[in-house]
């Protein structure tokens, strides 16, 4: 018999929210703004530390304009680099504050998150997007400010999403055995890592993001659902 579910940990892109919002709205916004952002604010310590991290990876001294160009390339490749994600989050803050966009959330996800929270189930986020970017995302979602629904936030500062150790550290930080946490994601490799750490898993396979639903082999033994509605009826 499996352990009772005591908390839910959710991914964002492709799980609670559409891939196309991230790829077609957020990434191009950050790509366009990056050179100006680095030029105007690169001297601020909270920004400098990330630029220096990228410069070190590039082999040492390089001009900020070149660092910005390298990071634009990383955006095109969808690299989940912690420095890039931190800077993207700072850039998106302007976009949300000036109401250039609101963050997409699938209506079934917003509804289920509200129901689970109302039922007393603690909710957590684990995304490659930085924690500040996650807070902005759920704070300015199509369904309003949902930040109050969450008990905690995790990004790649705790470790990569495809590494079992990250999920062990998250379970420790939440203060529950991994077996009592359900992780939701659209990426099988992330679910594999969470399962290796002992978490329960559900593959979210949204038709809008994955027009060719994953078959049982591709799902690699993870329960596969097309929305949040069927995960745990609370009604
Ligand atoms: C929360 S900010 C936008 C999402 C993002 O930058 C990203 O890389 C999403 O990755 P995820 O781990 O949520 O699939
Ligand atoms: Mg995802």
Structural domains in the chain plus CATH codes: 7-17+103-225 (3.40.50.1000), 22-97 (1.10.720.60)
How large is the angle between the packed helices 82-97 and 64-77, nearest 10 degrees? 90
Q: What is the mean pLDDT of each run of 10 residues along the chain (235 residues)?
A: 88 98 97 97 97 92 92 96 96 92 97 97 97 98 98 97 98 98 98 98 97 95 96 61
From the CA of 187, the nearest ligand is: 2
User: 55 C-alpha vs ligand 1 centroid, how far in Å?
Assistant: 23
Q: Give the pLDDT score at 234.
A: 47
Q: Give the pLDDT score at 235.
A: 39
Residue nearest to atom 14 of ligand 1 (CA): 13
Which of 71, 80, 91, 167 to probe ligand 1 with, by most ligand atoms within 8 A of CB? 80
Going by C-alpha positions, the residue among 219, 189, 191 that lies closest to residue 205 is 219
Query: 152-181, pLDDT tens digit by residue?
Result: 999 999 999 999 999 999 999 999 999 999
Residue 206 to residue 15: CA distance in whole angstroms: 8
Query: 51-89, pLDDT tens digit by residue?
Result: 999 999 988 878 999 999 999 999 999 999 999 999 999
User: 101 C-alpha vs ligand 1 centroid, how far in Å?
Assistant: 16
The dihedral through the CA atoms of 193, 20, 151, 159 has a sign that is positive
Query: Looking at ligand 1, which atom is closest to the CA of residue 127?
Result: 12
Terminal C-alpha separation, the chain: 23
Q: Give the pLDDT score at 232.
A: 73
Query: Looking at ligand 1, which atom is closest to the CA of residue 161?
Result: 12
Check: pTM over 0.90? Answer yes or no.
Answer: yes
Q: Give the pLDDT score at 38.
A: 97
Pocket lining for ligand 1, CB < 6 angstroms:
11-14, 22, 26, 80, 85, 88, 127-129, 133-134, 137, 161
């Amino acid at each position: 018999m499996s352990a009772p579910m005591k908390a839910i940990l959710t991914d964002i892109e492709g799980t609670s929210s559409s891939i196309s919002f991230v790829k077609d709205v957020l990434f191009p916004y950050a790509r366009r703004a990056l050179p100006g952002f680095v030029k105007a604010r690169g001297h601020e310590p909270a920004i400098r530390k990330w630029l220096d991290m990228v410069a070190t990876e590039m082999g040492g001294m390089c001009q900020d304009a070149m660092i910005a160009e390298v990071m634009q390339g990383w955006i095109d490749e969808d690299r989940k680099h912690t420095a890039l994600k931190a800077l993207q989050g700072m850039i998106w803050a302007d976009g949300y504050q000036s109401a250039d966009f609101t963050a997409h959330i699938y209506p079934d996800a917003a509804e289920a998150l509200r129901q689970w929270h109302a039922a007393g189930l603690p909710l957590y986020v684990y995304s490659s997007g930085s924690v500040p970017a996650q807070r902005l995302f759920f704070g300015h979602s199509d369904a309003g400010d949902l930040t109050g629904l969450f008990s905690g936030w995790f990004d790649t500062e705790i470790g990569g999403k495809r590494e079992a150790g990250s999920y062990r550290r998250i379970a420790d930080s939440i203060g529950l055995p991994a077996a009592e946490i359900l992780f939701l994601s659209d990426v099988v490799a992330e679910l594999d890592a969470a399962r290796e750490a002992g978490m329960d898993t559900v593959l979210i396979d949204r038709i809008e993001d994955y027009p060719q639903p994953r078959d049982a082999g591709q799902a690699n033994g993870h329960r596969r659902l097309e929305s949040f509605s069927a995960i745990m009826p609370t009604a």
